[in-house]
A and B are shown apart, each in its own frame.
Chain A
Amino acid sequence: MSSSKVEKEPKGAQGSEGTKESEGAQRSGQAQLAKGATRSDWALRSGGTARSAWAHRHLSALLVGLLLIVFALALFIGRYPKPGFLNPAALVSDPLARQIVLNSRLPRMLGAVLLGLVLGGAGASLQAVFGNPLVDAGFLGVSQGAAFGAAVALVLGLRAYSLIAVLAFGMAVLALALSLWLAERFRYGGQILRLILAGLAVSAFFSSLLAMMKYVADPLSQLPDIVFWTMGSMVPMGWKRLESSAPIALAALAVLYAMRWRVNLLSLDDTVSHSLGIRPGVERKIVSVAAAAGVGVMTAVCGVVGWVGLVVPQIVRAIDGPDGRSVLPRSMLGGAIFVLVSDTLARSLFSGEIPLGIVTSLFGALSFAILLTMRKVELAR
Chain B
Amino acid sequence: MKTKLQPIGGIADSATGTATGTEDQATPILQASELSFGWSAERQVLDSISLEIARGQTLAILGPNGAGKTTLLSILTGKLAPLRGQVVLEGHPLSDYSARERAWRIAFLPQLEKLPFNYRVLDFVLMGRTPHMEALALPGTEDEKAARDALDSLGMASFEERNIGELSGGEFQLVRIARCLAQGASILVLDEPVSMLDPAHARQIADALAGLATVGKTIIYTTHDIGLGIFLGGRALILAQGRVQWEGESSGLRDAEMLARAFGITFSMREMPSVF
Is A348's beta carbon under 8 Å from chain B? no
Interface residues of A in 26-72 (CB under 8 A from B): 28, 31-32, 35-36, 39, 43, 45-46, 48
Q: How far is the CA of A31 from the CA of B149 in the complex (A)?
A: 25
Docked-complex contact A9 and B215, CB < 8 angstroms: yes
Across the interface, which residues of A come within 8 angstroms of B170, CB to CB?
28
Interface residues of A in 247-299 (CB under 8 A from B): 258-262, 264-265, 267-269, 271-279
Which of B25-33, B123-131, B252-260 is the interface stretch? Answer: B123-131
Q: How far is the CA of A7 from the CA of B17 in the complex (A)?
A: 18
Docked-complex contact A276 and B215, CB < 8 angstroms: no
Q: Which of B116, B138, B162 contacts A261 (CB 8 A)?
A: B138
Is A132's beta carbon under 8 Å from chain B? yes
13 contacts between A and B (CB under 8 A): A3-B11, A7-B152, A9-B212, A12-B211, A28-B200, A128-B117, A271-B113, A272-B110, A272-B113, A276-B131, A277-B102, A277-B104, A279-B99
Is B265's beta carbon under 8 Å from chain A? no
Docked-complex contact A265 and B163, CB < 8 angstroms: no
The winner among B17, B204, B212 for most chain A CB atoms within 10 A is: B204
CB distance from A56 to the nearest CB of B (A): 10
Interface residues of B in 1-60 (CB under 8 A from A): 9-12, 14, 17-18
Docked-complex contact B171 and A28, CB < 8 angstroms: yes
Q: How far is the CA of A277 from the CA of B152 in the complex (A)?
A: 24
Q: Which of B114, B131, B203 contacts A277 (CB 8 A)?
A: B131
Is A185's beta carbon under 8 Å from chain B? no
Closest to B199 in A: A24
Across the interface, which residues of B come within 8 angstroms of A380, CB to CB?
115-118, 163-165
CB distance from B155 to the nearest CB of A (A): 6
Across the interface, which residues of B come within 8 angstroms of A322, CB to CB?
117-119
Interface size band for A: 35 or more
Across the interface, which residues of B come within 8 angstroms of A9, CB to CB?
210-212, 214-215
**Apart from A21-B203, A275-B107: 7 A-B pairs, beta carbons within 8 A:** A3-B14, A28-B170, A271-B74, A271-B79, A274-B79, A276-B130, A321-B123
Q: Which of B18, B114, B130 contacts A278 (CB 8 A)?
A: B130
Residues of A whose CB lies within 8 Å of any CB of B are 1-3, 5-7, 9-14, 17, 20-21, 24-25, 28, 31-32, 35-36, 39, 43, 45-46, 48, 128, 131-133, 258-262, 264-265, 267-269, 271-279, 317, 321-323, 325, 378-381
Majority SS of interface residues in chain A? helix
CB distance from A256 to the nearest CB of B (A): 12
Docked-complex contact A381 and B115, CB < 8 angstroms: yes
Docked-complex contact A14 and B116, CB < 8 angstroms: no
Interface size on B, residues (CB 8 A): 71
A276-B103, A277-B103 known; A21+B120 contact, CB < 8 A: no
Docked-complex contact B155 and A10, CB < 8 angstroms: yes
Across the interface, which residues of A come within 8 angstroms of B214, CB to CB?
5, 9
Residues of B whose CB lies within 8 Å of any CB of A are 9-12, 14, 17-18, 74, 77-79, 98-104, 106-110, 112-120, 123, 127-128, 130-131, 135-139, 149, 152-155, 161-168, 170-171, 181, 183, 200-201, 203-204, 207-208, 210-212, 214-216
Docked-complex contact A265 and B130, CB < 8 angstroms: yes
Q: How far is the CA of A113 from the CA of B131 in the complex (A)?
A: 36
The winner among B18, B114, B164, B171 for most chain A CB atoms within 10 A is: B114
Across the interface, which residues of B come within 8 angstroms of A279, CB to CB?
99
Docked-complex contact B215 and A6, CB < 8 angstroms: yes
Q: How far is the CA of A45 from the CA of B166 in the complex (A)?
A: 12
A2-B14, A6-B11, A6-B211 known; A35+B166 contact, CB < 8 A: yes
